[in-house]
Structure 1
Amino acid sequence: MNSKGNVNQENIRKIQIFDTTLRDGEQAPGATLTFEQKMVLAHQLAKLGVDVMEPGFPISSPGEFAAVRQISRELQQVEICGFGRAVKEDIDAALKATQDAERRRIHMFLSSSDIHLQHQLRKSRQEVVAMAREMVAYAKQYVNTIEFTTMDATRTDINFLVEMVEAVIAEGATIINLPDTVGYALPEEYGNMFRRVRQEARGGDTVQYSAHCHNDLGLAVANSLAAIQAGASQIEVTMNGVGERTGNCSLEELVMAIETRKAALQVGTGISSEHIYETSRMVSRAMHFPIAYNKPVVGRNAFQHESGIHQDGLLKHRSTYEIMDPEQLGIPRSMIILGKHSGRHALKHRIAQFGVTLNEGELETVYRQFKEVADEQKIVTDDRLLEIVGHSVRQDEAVEAYSLIDLQVVAGSQRARVASVTIRDQRQGMEQSYSGVGDGPLEAVINCIQQAIPVAAEFEDLEIHSLSSGEEAHGEAIVTITHDEQTYRGTSMHKDIVLAAAQAYISACNQAVMR
């Protein structure tokens, strides 16, 4: 780092990103993936730029074995990791599943803490060291790169941990993984463990070190950074932090912490950040794991702001309240959320996105009405906002190109879903009805609307959120479309979620048309 605090690329140390989304991540309850889903996600993770991929646990099932084998064959640009327990059957399965990989390693694990030895393995320390030696020596006959994990390292007696690491290094292990298996460690403790093992184990300075942290106390990323500062050169992560219990170190959080604080950490990764958001959404959908609103980097609120002070600062210069650029992460720019804390600048900005310009008097009138509505509901959606504008100041002028007049859907278990909509073209002053079918009610509705609005817009994404509970519950729909390589997002809220989605889709299309 030079005197101005800038990054000197010559001094940047490369951190390998070891992705275990398809192995440890899939072990989260309910996260099981099909063969096809694994293949799609594996290709996406390779596109993201992970250095090492652990695509599964080959011994666990025929399907898992087949997926690891096929990924090994297709993804020649990524190092593939065959995972198993420190037993011959697991190692044999991992060796066979990864035999077609261009680059591969065997990753075996064996418990090291007295808690695990006494209550799970029911073996002595000496027996465990003998097992570790035997299995590393066995695998070394077939592969050069062997990663050995001392499971529950952070609750292991440090002297025994050093002894165990020495033993596997002597037999040919090339990567030592010291995991925080139960998310127990504090960052200072975790970093010190790495330093002591590196310094005290014979041969400890001849191998690579890896960190694998779980998030039970919310410290997985912090502990991983502590490991980096203590000399680890590989971090094991999952997309969205998925994994057993509360999950693993989150790929996107770790990578962006490194990228954002590169000058302080003096390390970097090979991740292509523009693919982070897309990969995150794909993993979320495939595993049916929703992403928390306040999830760092990829959560809905990560780059959205309701506070008027924040909105005003952001509209003047992004860096006032954002330390990362969402567009560099592949995240659509939608930083303004309109609610009771929003100010005039944000309101004017959002209205302008629909091609509507208000003078000061009109803005003040709309703002007063907006505040009344915002006090009654959590957020003011696009369709409601345009309704306010129309009622308040532009009664004789269309503020949206198209509006939904009527919608009907027929759904049933034994028939295709059929929908009909009536759309008003505000500029032409004409109403027309359209009908369509689909596998689901929303698909049928979208097919109708696409006939009505002559914009070659691709339906990109739909988010549906419950805003309350009980019989009076409302749902919020957020629809993203792409048109001419630009992304547009529309929002709506209604008790009928299909109607809300239809209105949100029309809102997004209106932005594309008005632009």
Structure 2
Amino acid sequence: MNKNLSKKSNLYNLMDCTKPNYFKEIFPYSEIPKVTFNNINYPMNIPEDIWITDTTFRDGQQSLSSFTVEQITTLYDYLHKLDNKSGIIRQTEFFLYSKKDQMAVSKCMEKGYKFPQITSWIRAKKEDLNLVKEMGIKETGMLMSCSDYHIFKKLKVTRAKAIQMYLDIAEKALENDIIPRCHLEDITRADFYGFVVPLVNKLMELSSKHNMKVKIRACDTLGLGISYSGVELPRSIPAIMYGLKNECGVPSEWIEWHGHNDFYSVVTNSVSAWVYGASSINTTLFGIGERTGNCPLEAMLIEYAQIKGNLRNVDLRVLPEIAKYFQKETNYKIHPQTPFVGSEFNVTKAGIHADGILKDVEIYNAFDTDKILNRPIVVAVNQYSGLAGIAAWINTYFELEEVNKISKNDSRINPIKKWIDEQYLRGRTTVISNDELKKIVFTYFPDIMKTNESKAI
């Protein structure tokens, strides 16, 4: 099954130390973590096929109030609609522990969608695996903590005991024709060649023995990964990807990256995992998740489009609809300036920017957000907008055709600007609302009221 198993794998045996290695020179705890360099540069090795997986219903849900069955099934429908049979959003994972979780999974399975495929997540326990079997799920994630912080402090076992426990549950899954996806928790604080490589080599031996896939999810649990080359392990993403592929023989198609945003690097780190050898990136809708969150699914769709040059059938115009539903149903507030999904991500308020938009929207809009995301560029009006800002607001709000667009030199804009200036001279601090602007624009541009009001956003 796995023809890539490296002959060098036997070079790395488990270092079953009695004293844990916490890499305190890198993670002193009383200080910010350190980046240490060795100036080793690994070659980029982006797989031909890359994709995205989703953990909104597992890792994402842990950070919010529990979703209802209806919310889960509706969001699953939305993920399917967003993927649009492209297979780019390839899988999504679920908890199985409560009756509600099981009911939600059953209802999603009944839909018969090919994408995203339904998978599950369990602890490395046989009783958890029984839940997967009972539900008829063909792949499950299983927790395999790999740093000494987790092995010694949380599990309170030795490295040898931890590996044996992990191998036992992985083999049990394989014996039941269930693909194990091994979640190597806290890999960016783990002894890579003393524990991770020996563990993964054993997992690859199980793969060969049972002639089945064994997937590896590299989990950057605290967001400590470093995306650029020349950095030492355990934080180096290029080194982790190189080691999994070249020292363990794991095919790219079996490697997945799961990141967190504790150091503002989750998107960059995820892209790094792609370009250095992982086929799969794990995400959540809007980046929800523990602490600072996971990698935003929508961000990785945009990254995919940039790397691959297209999004196949993915329908990004569904994103605003998902964001609206999600906020309404969960009371979760997406920051207005969040890229691609925030209510103001393509709203400009600066007069000089508005002047550029008047000349050509491409000056201050990186791509056609109206066509691609169903989000036309918007100009907000405040005390800094000037004549250009007012004209740009009229043109964008009413979606005026080129021949009908208003120039900043149109004399009818002057009294509107005078009214706006007076508002701020009286102490106003808020942006002029669309309703206020619409009312005064209709006063001075009655032709727009007659012919274009129906086109207002």
Question: Does TM, normalized by the shorter one, top 0.5?
Answer: yes
Task: Write the mapping of 1:435-474 to structure 2, written as runs, cut at 5 A.
Answer: none
Q: State the partner residue of 1:291.
A: 334
Question: So what's the TM-score if we normalise by structure 2?
Answer: 0.77
Q: State the partner residue of 1:418.
A: none
Q: Aligned partners of 1:90, 1:229: CA distance in 2, in Å?
A: 34
Q: Aligned partners of 2:251, 2:308: CA distance in 1, in Å?
A: 25
Q: Aligned partners of 2:174, 2:154: CA distance in 1, in Å?
A: 27
The equivalent position to 2:145 in structure 1, one of 111, 120, 140, is 111
CA shift in 2, pair 1:276/1:374, >3 Å: same
Q: State the partner residue of 1:200.
A: 247
Q: State the partner residue of 2:122.
A: 84
Residue 166, structure 1, aligned to residue 206, structure 2: no
Q: Aligned partners of 1:325, 1:98: CA distance in 2, in Å?
A: 43
Q: Please list the CA deviations of residues 296-331 of structure 1 after superposition, one character each: whole Å capped at 9, or x if unmatched.
A: 111122111111121222233232122232224433
Residue 95, structure 1, aligned to residue 98, structure 2: no
Q: State the partner residue of 2:292.
A: 246
Q: State the partner residue of 1:499.
A: none
Aligned letter for 1:195? Answer: Y
CA shift in 2, pair 1:513/1:254, >3 Å: closer
Residue 368, structure 1, aligned to residue 403, structure 2: no
CA shift in 2, pair 1:29/1:322, >3 Å: same
CA shift in 2, pair 1:328/1:107, >3 Å: farther
RMSD: 2.9
Q: Aligned partners of 2:49, 2:316: CA distance in 1, in Å?
A: 16
Which moves more between the two structures, 157-166 or 282-291? 282-291
Q: Aligned partners of 1:162, 1:514: CA distance in 2, in Å?
A: 59
SS class of match (1:106): strand
Question: So what's the TM-score if we normalise by structure 1?
Answer: 0.69
Structure 1: give runs of 5+ residues left out of the alignment.
1-10, 402-508
The equivalent position to 1:63 in structure 2, one of 92, 100, 103, is 100
Whether the 8 Å contact between 2:197 and 2:247 is mirrored in structure 1 is yes
Q: Aligned partners of 1:311, 1:513: CA distance in 2, in Å?
A: 21
Q: Aligned partners of 2:332, 2:105: CA distance in 1, in Å?
A: 23
Q: Please list the CA deviations of residues 34-91 of structure 1 after superposition, one character each: whole Å capped at 9, or x if unmatched.
A: 01111111111111115333342102x1111121122122233122112111111111
Q: Aligned partners of 1:269, 1:389: CA distance in 2, in Å?
A: 42
Task: Write the mapping of 1:77-476 to structure 2, written as runs, cut at 5 A.
Answer: 77-78=114-115, 79-99=117-137, 104-143=138-177, 145-159=179-193, 160-172=195-207, 173-188=213-228, 189-201=236-248, 203-205=249-251, 208-262=254-308, 271-351=314-394, 360-374=410-424, 376-389=428-441
Q: Aligned partners of 2:196, 2:69: CA distance in 1, in Å?
A: 37
SS class of match (2:293): coil
Q: CA deviation at 1:268?
A: 6.1
Q: Please list the CA deviations of residues 127-174 of structure 1 after superposition, one character each: whole Å capped at 9, or x if unmatched.
A: 111111111110012225321111111111111111111122222252
CA shift in 2, pair 1:390/1:36, >3 Å: closer
Q: Aligned partners of 1:145, 1:296: CA distance in 2, in Å?
A: 35
Whether the 8 Å contact between 1:374 and 1:380 is mirrored in structure 2 is no
Q: Please list the CA deviations of residues 380-414 of structure 1 after superposition, one character each: whole Å capped at 9, or x if unmatched.
A: 113322454577x58xx79868xxxxxxxxxxxxx
Structure 2: give runs of 5+ residues left out of the alignment.
1-45, 208-212, 229-235
CA shift in 2, pair 1:310/1:21, >3 Å: same
Which moves more between the two structures, 358-367 or 107-116? 358-367
CA shift in 2, pair 1:95/1:16, >3 Å: farther
> Larger radius of gyration, structure 1 or 2?
1
Aligned letter for 1:368? Answer: K
Q: Aligned partners of 2:110, 2:183: CA distance in 1, in Å?
A: 25
Aligned letter for 2:58? Answer: R
CA shift in 2, pair 1:341/1:14, >3 Å: farther
SS class of match (2:337): coil
Identify the structure with bigger relative contact order (alpha carbons < 8 Å, sequence gap 6+). Answer: 2
Q: State the partner residue of 2:48.
A: 13
Q: Aligned partners of 1:13, 1:222: CA distance in 2, in Å?
A: 19
SS class of match (1:361): coil
Q: Aligned partners of 1:268, 1:13: CA distance in 2, in Å?
A: 14
Aligned letter for 1:365? Answer: P
Q: State the partner residue of 2:80.
A: 46
Whether the 8 Å contact between 1:149 and 1:178 is mirrored in structure 2 is yes
Q: Aligned partners of 2:220, 2:265: CA distance in 1, in Å?
A: 10
Aligned letter for 2:330? Answer: M
CA shift in 2, pair 1:335/1:261, >3 Å: farther
Aligned letter for 1:19? Answer: D
Q: Please list the CA deviations of residues 313-365 of structure 1 after superposition, one character each: whole Å capped at 9, or x if unmatched.
A: 22332321222322244333142111122132331243465699798332223
SS class of match (1:187): coil
Q: CA deviation at 1:237?
A: 0.5
CA shift in 2, pair 1:398/1:227, >3 Å: closer
